[in-house]
């Protein structure tokens, strides 16, 4: 899920330590957080949100304990910890979803938030059940902590003079609703999921059963992000960056770190289990499971961190990673996205905003007797593009998506032909001279037409261009913007001349281009390969490179995309 970020925020993002956790205060903090998320959506990110529930689940449990003496006479049921987790997940999910919907609507975005009741499978034999470590509830003084411990609570000092109740926190093994969360995220919705680390359940012969525990939300977030292919995981904490040597004169912030270094610091005891330890463990697990990039930062620095200006960034050196948001001009549309393997990383496009560009499949370039052969080229080397391009063309027509054909050629009076182009090289025949298929590269001649196998049909745009680039001296950009196109699937000849020029022009204008390697070709195979390498170099500096097979495979299960309304 390229261009997708999972934000994991703590329950104390809504309730700060030491302050009253009133509903009004939590609503205010949810609204501030929602504003930040809406900014990211407006930037083009697809966003998932997970959240902790430490303070809130503690409140719920404590309320149950306060009325326990009267529970029997009042007919009140017991409140097990796992049900308190479910209660907190529903309540916080509601607060966040309402705040998010409001913030998104204020920006004029049609995206909406969806809160998913989420379960996580844990191991019934996890040793954490015998060793409580997860803090819940409000901070306590030492006096209150001693009184609660006498009542049977497990209490620890989480900071000097600050005490918290702790409960078991087993490791999550599986997010039960992961597939459904992935499907919702693919629609462009802001998905709120895995609240409080998920409702812990164990699997027995007769089904799922809740267990009394609170799963660490960072561990669950890393598991969920890796299992559904999220590109970037962000764990939000109280500091801008992870530091080593905390509390000493040798304190040092970690900005960009690799897994080996970070694990070394963890094993050296730099990150305590009750604070930064679980976050570090979680980001290490995320990249070990195939994640691209993990960031630890504060809520205030969130946007700067995603743009690489703040935070601690964990990446794997030889794994491509998208380090910036998608095209900021186009917010998600709500239509399911399509993703396919490509270089340097998977290409994702919205089917409502994509077009197929077929560049210069003309007889003058691809058949004997045309301009290409007059230059001494073997035109048969281009004809291998016809079959795969025909299959892609058929798919686009079946889905009702736009197709644009270009033809390079000049006016019959050659008024648009510069001498610099006319006099280049030593062809047997020059542009405008008579050949076996009429005047070479002149509009209206037989050679100027597109090969029959790829000929346009009614309703498809045919664009005549006088130069190599499809944007030069044409209205292509106007056509694309009028139709809301942001992504181009590019086919055509030749790879290193007209295709490459067009893709670079498209990139400069903000369009994202996927070049299909087997649907493009050159008279010189080495030039073809070199051009493809240049497209995807430096993290996709001008575009992506894929294949027709990969594209068509990605379209096979997407019958929902057919007849997309534009």
Measured distance CA(553)–CA(538) in Å, rounded: 27
Q: Does residue 566 have a pLDDT over 80? A: no
pTM of the model: 0.56
Q: Nearest-CA neighbor of 472 among 543, 392, 418?
A: 418
Q: Nearest-CA neighbor of 298 among 36, 1, 39, 23?
A: 36
Query: Which residues lie across from 362 on neighbouring strands?
Result: 450
Catalytic residues, which ones?
360, 465, 498
Question: CB of 122 within 8 A of CB of 215?
Answer: yes
**Residue 487's pLDDT is what?**
95
Burial class (CB in 10 A: 0-12, 13-18, 19+), 337: buried
User: 185-228 pLDDT, tens per residue?
Assistant: 988 899 999 999 999 999 887 788 999 888 999 999 999 999 88
The conformation of residue 272, written as its DSSP 8-state character, comes to -
Three-state DSSP string of 517-552: EEEEECCCHHHHHHHHHHHHHHHHCCCEEECHHHHH
Q: Answer positive or negative: Cα dihedral of 411, 414, 415, 416.
A: positive
Measured distance CA(14)–CA(397) in Å, rounded: 50
Q: Helix (H, G, I), strand (E, B), or coil: what is residue 345?
A: coil
Q: Which residues contact 104 (CB under 8 A, 6 or more apart)?
A: 34, 38, 41, 111, 112, 113, 190
User: 394-403 pLDDT, tens per residue?
Assistant: 999 989 999 9
Q: Where are the alpha helices (DSSP H) in 307-438?
A: 363-366, 371-374, 386-399, 419-422
Measured distance CA(171)–CA(120) in Å, rounded: 9
Which has the higher per-residue pLDDT, 494 or 317? Answer: 494
Which has the higher per-residue pLDDT, 283 or 159? Answer: 283
**Residue 65's pLDDT is what?**
72
Q: Nearest-CA neighbor of 330 among 539, 544, 561, 41?
A: 41
Tell me how many degrees the CA angle 390-383-401 measures, rounded to the nearest 5: 20
**Residue 195's pLDDT is what?**
92
**Residue 325's pLDDT is what?**
44
Tell me how many degrees the CA angle 32-48-137 measures, rounded to the nearest 5: 60
How confident is the model over 271-280, as a mean pLDDT?
A: 84
> In the chain, what percentage of residues exceed pLDDT 70?
92
How confident is the model over 154-165, as a mean pLDDT?
A: 86
User: 342-386 pLDDT, tens per residue?
Assistant: 998 899 998 989 999 999 999 999 999 888 888 889 999 999 999
Burial class (CB in 10 A: 0-12, 13-18, 19+), 400: middle
User: 65-85 pLDDT, tens per residue?
Assistant: 777 667 677 777 778 888 989
Q: Nearest-CA neighbor of 546 among 566, 520, 517?
A: 517
Measured distance CA(236)–CA(234) in Å, rounded: 6
Measured distance CA(464)–CA(420) in Å, rounded: 20
pLDDT confidence of 165, banded at 50, 70, 90?
Answer: confident
Tokens of 212: 């009394």
Question: CB of 99 within 8 A of CB of 27?
Answer: yes
**Residue 317's pLDDT is what?**
54
Q: Does residue 94 have a pLDDT over 60? A: yes
Q: Does residue 407 have a pLDDT over 60? A: yes
pLDDT confidence of 35, banded at 50, 70, 90?
Answer: very high
How would you label 93-117 residue by residue, b for 16+ Cβ within 10 Å and e otherwise? Answer: bebbbbbbbebbeeeebebebbbbe
pLDDT confidence of 493, banded at 50, 70, 90?
Answer: very high
Question: CB of 534 within 8 A of CB of 508?
Answer: no
């Amino acid at each position: 899920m390229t261009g997708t970020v999972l934000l994991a925020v703590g329950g104390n993002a809504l309730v700060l330590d030491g302050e009253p956790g009133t509903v009004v205060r939590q609503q205010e903090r949810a609204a501030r957080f929602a504003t930040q998320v809406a900014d990211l959506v407006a930037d083009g990110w697809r966003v998932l949100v997970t959240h902790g529930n430490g303070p809130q689940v503690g409140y719920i449990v404590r309320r149950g304990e306060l009325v326990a003496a009267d529970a029997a006479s009042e007919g009140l049921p017991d409140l097990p910890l796992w049900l308190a987790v479910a209660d907190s997940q529903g309540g916080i999910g509601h607060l966040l979803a309402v705040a998010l919907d409001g913030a998104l609507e204020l920006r004029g975005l049609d995206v909406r938030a969806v809160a998913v009741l989420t379960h996580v499978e844990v191991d019934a034999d996890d040793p954490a059940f015998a060793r409580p470590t997860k803090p819940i509830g409000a901070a306590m003084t030492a006096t209150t902590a001693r009184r609660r411990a006498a009542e049977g609570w497990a209490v620890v000092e989480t900071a000097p003079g600050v005490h918290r109740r702790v409960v078991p926190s087993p490791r999550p093994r599986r997010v039960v609703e992961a597939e459904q969360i992935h499907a919702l995220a693919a629609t462009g919705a802001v998905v709120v999921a895995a609240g409080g680390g998920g409702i812990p359940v164990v699997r027995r012969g007769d089904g799922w059963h809740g267990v009394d525990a609170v799963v660490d939300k960072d561990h669950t977030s890393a598991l969920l992000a890796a299992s559904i292919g999220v590109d970037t995981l962000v764990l939000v904490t109280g500091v801008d960056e992870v530091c080593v040597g905390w509390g000493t004169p040798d304190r040092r912030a970690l900005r960009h770190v690799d897994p080996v270094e970070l694990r070394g610091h963890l094993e050296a005891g730099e990150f305590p289990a009750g604070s930064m330890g679980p976050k570090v463990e979680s980001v290490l697990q995320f990249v070990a499971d195939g994640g691209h990039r993990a960031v630890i930062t504060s809520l205030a620095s969130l946007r700067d961190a995603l743009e690489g200006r703040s935070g601690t960034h964990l990446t794997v050196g030889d794994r491509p990673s998208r380090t910036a948001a998608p095209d900021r001009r186009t917010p998600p549309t709500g239509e399911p996205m399509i993703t396919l393997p490509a270089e340097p990383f998977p290409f994702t496009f919205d089917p409502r905003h994509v077009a197929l560009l077929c560049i210069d499949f003309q007889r003058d370039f691809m058949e004997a007797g045309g301009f290409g052969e007059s230059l001494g080229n073997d035109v048969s080397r281009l004809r291998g593009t016809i079959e795969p391009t025909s299959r892609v063309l058929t798919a686009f027509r079946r889905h009702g998506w736009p197709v644009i054909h270009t033809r390079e050629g000049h006016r019959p009076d050659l008024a648009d032909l510069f001498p610099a182009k006319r006099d280049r090289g030593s062809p047997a025949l020059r542009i405008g001279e008579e050949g076996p298929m009429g005047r070479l590269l002149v509009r209206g001649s037989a050679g100027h037409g597109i090969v029959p196998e790829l000929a346009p049909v009614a309703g498809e745009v045919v664009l005549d261009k006088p130069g190599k680039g499809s944007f030069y001296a044409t209205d292509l950009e106007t056509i694309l913007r009028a139709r809301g196109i942001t992504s181009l699937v590019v086919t055509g000849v030749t790879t290193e001349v007209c295709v490459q020029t067009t893709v670079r022009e498209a990139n400069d204008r903000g369009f994202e281009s996927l070049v299909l390697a087997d649907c493009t070709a050159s008279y010189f195979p080495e030039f073809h390969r070199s051009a493809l390498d240049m497209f995807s170099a430096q993290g996709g500096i001008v575009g992506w490179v894929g294949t027709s097979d990969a594209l068509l495979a990605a379209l096979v299960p997407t019958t929902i995309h057919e007849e997309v309304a534009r």
